Chain A
Amino acid sequence: MNIILNGNNKSLQKPSSILDLLKSLELMPETVVVELNTTIIQPNSYDATQFAEGDRVEIIRFVGGG
């Protein structure tokens, strides 16, 4: 299925949870915030939340800024 990840199309080879995606991206779950269709997902739901076709996902973290 296709999702939109950080503004770009991404195709998922098999049904995935948020946790699966983070692992595949080599991102530690506790270092990011995940927004699914503009709703912030709590980290304890990463494992249980499965993607659907066309989902918009934002993965955000702190960066340097003034």
Chain B
Amino acid sequence: MFQSPDFKQLSAQIRCATSESVEQALSATRLRLHDLAALLSPAATPYLQQMAVRSSEITITRFGKTTQLYAPIYLSNYCTNRCVYCGFSADNRIKRKCLTLDEAEKEAMILHDRGFQHILLVSGEAVNAVGIEYMEAIALRLRDKFAAVSIEIQPMSTEHYHRLFLAGITAVAVYQETYNRDIYKTVHLSGKKSDYDYRLETPARVARAGMREVGIGALLGLADWRAEGLAIGHHLDWLRKQFWSTAFTISFPRMRPATGEFEPLEIVTESNLSQLIFALRLFDQDVGLIVSTREEARYRDGMLGLGPTRYSAGSCTAPGGYGNSDADAEQFSVGDHRSLEEVCTVIRSKGFDPVYKDWDCGFQTTY
């Protein structure tokens, strides 16, 4: 079982870092966790430009001049958890909707016709609305229409993840939200999500079930982002050792306004976010780095080629929102409203190739 290091110790380790340790980390060919700590520290702030250069070199060497594209589909905003920061919290009075299988398929085909070949199915946690049978059924319907179908839903058992793998799901994202146990308790008031350890073990269950790719991350703005970055590094390091044939990605959801008006506990600036992304790229040359439409167009354009490997585009975060532009009750408001075509035009203008398809679930083991 992964033991997440004590959050306060992570913060302390980071704050001890000196410019010497930053320079050592910048020139190292194989970085260790103490190098990641240095790169996340305030001592690294003056080195941001160099980190960007190094991060860009590594990303382009490893991933080529490409950016992968995907789009999320929100299946349901029913949720039995009360997470203080989330628009779908059980406490929030919003219009709840759960797409039927036909409606979900219709939404998916809208994305398909726009050109997406990789979609991410998202839902709140409500097993009566979106349980294993529903997910299996939607996976089976969509697997022949898309190259990759990922999910970001409530944590499940290894056995259920394996069923979903056989049904055609290729990747599962599950973010710890915060690795700080104390803050975790204060922001997850009730529901199954309030169990820190069950959530923490989820990426391991996903990998054990045979999923090709596991996504981890933290919701930036809950706790000290530097320590979250180091905790993510520890988690990734452990996961890679245990599951050497699994691919990993890190996402960087950064607090944005949401229904319920939750104020981020920590301010995380774009500069901080970039430092986090560059530090993790230097630490792990092979991890996918995902930046969603939470971020502004200007920011995402600027970051092309500097570290991120995958972008969402044209996103709608309300269930049924692609087919019905009146759909409200978003999980978070989007920062980059551009269509897939617009985003790809910018990608190409920078000399990069937009990639719609990186894997084909048709190759995947099935029943």
Q: So, do A and B actually touch in the complex, CB under 8 Å?
A: no
